[in-house]
Amino acid sequence: MQTTLTDAEARDLRALVAQMIPASTTYKVPGADDDLIFTDILRSLERDTDDVRAALKHLATMSGGSFAGLPADRRAEVAATFKDQGGAPLFALNRVVLLCYYRDDRVMRSLGQEPRSPFPKGHVVEQGDWSLLDPVKKRAPIYRKVP
């Protein structure tokens, strides 16, 4: 198994993830092709490397050679078709992109989330109104009696 992408594959992948999750000035977030995020994507392929390579091969075929080399409007068209036809390899590729994008500090802050591990600080969950249970407490047993 080849564990890293070729330069051509990496260029196509970067162009693709820019179509998937572009930067947004409205939400003040980078795109998935941002340097830090894309480096994380390349580093995180691991178990999905074969699927990602298969997806990129499919994409390159659809592009007539190089997806990254297409004009911008044509890239958008090919990406839209690829989204529908990519199958399981694209699902794996998508998963790697999302798990790297949605752990980036800038993205997390934009979502109102603290960029940290759950442990040791944890979170606060309100106890809630336990009187909501009062009508249930008044019910007779609902389990079946066994002879």
Partner 1 sequence: MNDKVDVLIIGSGASGAAVAWSLADTKMRILCLEQGDWVKPTDYPSNGRDWEARLFSDFAINPNRRARETDYPINDANSQIKVVNFNGVGGSTIMYTAHYPRLHPSDFKVKTLDGVADDWPIDYQTLEPFFAENDRMTGVSGLAGDPAYPAKQPPMPPIPLGKSGQRFGKAMNNLGWHWWPSDTSIATVDYEGRGRCLNLGHCTPGCAQGAKASTDITYWPLALRAGVELRTRARVREITVDNNGMATGVVYYDADGKEQFQAAEMVIVACNGVGTPRLMLNSQSGKFPNGIANSSGLVGKNLMFHPYAFTYGYVDEPLDGNHGPPLCLWSHEFYETDKARDFVRGYIFQFGRGMGSIVEAINSTAAGRLPWGEDHHKVYRGLLNHRIYLAGICEDLPEEHNRVTLDPVLKDSDGIPAPKIDYTLGDNSRKMLEHAHSRAEEILKEAGAHTVFREHVPNSGWHLLGTARMGTDAERSVVNEWGRCHDVKNLFIVDGSIWVTSGGVNPTSTIQALALYIADAIKQRLSNATLFE
Residues lying near partner 1 in the complex (CB under 8 A) are found at: 19-22, 24, 26-27, 29, 44, 46-47, 76, 79-80, 83, 91, 94-95, 98-103, 108, 111, 113, 115-130, 132-133, 135-137, 139-147
Q: Minimum distance between the CB of residue 34 and partner 1, rounded to whole angstroms? A: 14
Q: Minimum distance between the CB of residue 134 and partner 1, rounded to whole angstroms? A: 9
Residue with tokens 């993205």: 107
Q: Minimum distance between the CB of residue 35 and partner 1, rounded to whole angstroms? A: 18
Give the integer Cα–Cα distance in Å for 147 and 144: 9
Q: Minimum distance between the CB of residue 128 and partner 1, rounded to whole angstroms? A: 3
Nearer to partner 1, 57 or 83 (CB): 83
Residue with tokens 């990406």: 79
Give the integer Cα–Cα distance in Å for 60 and 65: 5
Nearer to partner 1, 5 or 79 (CB): 79
Is residue 5 within 8 A of residue 13, CB to CB? The reply is: yes
Residue with tokens 């580093």: 43
Is residue 5 within 8 A of residue 67, CB to CB? The reply is: no
